[in-house]
């Protein structure tokens, strides 16, 4: 496989953007891919824009997703869609909070995990790997909520296809 999968996650400080990219990169690692993750987080705690890039494939060089080459753009906060749309390639998939039914989520903090669930429906990694990563990536007490949120996000995309 020579294709590199490019995913950009965007949101505001405190929304779990970087936790989301941590999980995604970890799942790609578990699946045996070469993976790189890049983030700009200097100002993230002050409510500014935060983005993280994850790239995986047989061999990845640059850790940064080139503008206009993202296969997926995951946005956690509606105001951050337009500022990051230029990252998406033609035909690339935009995933926003609208992709998941907010009222069904265990709590609003799980939005990042629910959107990962939506993303997961488009990626080749097996569901067990995602759940294993969610298990080890958070405190034990968060796992049930995260699992539920992930599966809601994942199911939503599968129905939508």
Partner 1 sequence: MNEPNRLLLSGDEAIALAARHAGVALGAGYPGTPSTEILEHFSELGGHAQWSPNEKVALEVTIGAAFGGARAICTMKHVGLNVASDPLFTAAYTGVSGALVVVSADDPGMASSQNEQDNRRYAVAAGLPMLEPSDSQEAYDFMWAAIEISERWKIPVLYRATTRVCHSYTIVQPRENPAAPKPANFERDIRGRVMIPAYARPAHRRLRQKLAEMQEWNETCALNHIVEGDHSLGIITSGISFMHAREAAPEARVLKLGFTHPLPMKKIARFVKAVSRCVVIEEGDPYLVEAIRAAGISVEGKADMYRFGELDVPRVRRILNNDLSLEPAKPPGKPPQLCDACQYRIVFEALRKRDCIVAGDIGCYTLGVLQPFEAIDSCVCMGASLGVGLGLRHVLPPDQARRVVSVIGDSTFVHSGISGLVEMVYNPPPNGHVLIILDNSTTAMTGHQEHPGTGRTLAHEPTGKVVIEDLARSLGIRRVHVIEPHFGTDEFDRLLTECLESNELAVIIARRPCILIAKQLKQYEAAQCECTAAPSAAPSPA
Q: Which residues bind partner 1 (CB under 8 A)?
A: 12-13, 25-26, 29-30, 34-49, 51, 60-64, 66-68, 79-80, 82-86, 132-133, 136
Phi, psi of 14 (to 5 degrees): 95, -5
Enclosing H/E stretch for 28:
helix 17-30
Output the smallest distance, CB 157 to partner 1, in A.
Answer: 26
Token code pair at residue 64: 């940064």
Token code pair at residue 134: 């969610």
Question: Which residue number, 13 or 106, has a Cβ lying nearer to partner 1?
Answer: 13
Output the smallest distance, CB 133 to partner 1, in A.
Answer: 8
Output the smallest distance, CB 64 to partner 1, in A.
Answer: 5
| Helix (DSSP H) and strand (DSSP E) numbers for the chain | 5, 5
Question: Which residue number, 27 or 111, has a Cβ lying nearer to partner 1?
Answer: 27
Output the smallest distance, CB 160 to partner 1, in A.
Answer: 27
Question: Which residue number, 92 or 155, has a Cβ lying nearer to partner 1?
Answer: 92
Q: Which residues contact 16 (CB under 8 A, 6 or more apart)?
A: 76, 109, 111, 112, 113
Output the smallest distance, CB 83 to partner 1, in A.
Answer: 4
- Cα–Cα distances (Å) from 22 to 19, 54, 89, 93, 102, in that order, read 5, 9, 23, 20, 23
Question: Which residue number, 48 or 101, has a Cβ lying nearer to partner 1?
Answer: 48
Question: Which residue number, 68 or 101, has a Cβ lying nearer to partner 1?
Answer: 68
């Amino acid at each position: 496989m020579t294709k590199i999968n490019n995913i950009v996650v965007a949101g505001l400080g405190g929304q779990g953007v970087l936790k989301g990219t941590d999980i995604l990169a970890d799942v790609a690692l578990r699946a045996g891919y070469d993976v790189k993750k890049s983030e700009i987080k200097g100002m993230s705690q002050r409510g500014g824009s935060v983005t993280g890039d994850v790239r995986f494939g047989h061999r990845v060089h640059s850790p940064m997703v080139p503008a206009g080459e993202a296969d997926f753009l995951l946005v956690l906060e509606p105001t951050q869609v337009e500022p990051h749309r230029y990252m998406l390639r033609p035909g690339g998939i935009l995933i926003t909070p609208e992709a998941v039914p907010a009222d069904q989520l265990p709590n609003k903090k799980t939005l990042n995990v629910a959107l990962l669930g939506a993303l997961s429906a488009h990626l080749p990694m097996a569901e067990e790997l995602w759940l294993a990563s969610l298990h080890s990536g958070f405190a034990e007490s968060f796992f049930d909520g995260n699992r539920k949120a992930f599966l809601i996000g994942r199911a939503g995309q599968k129905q939508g296809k």
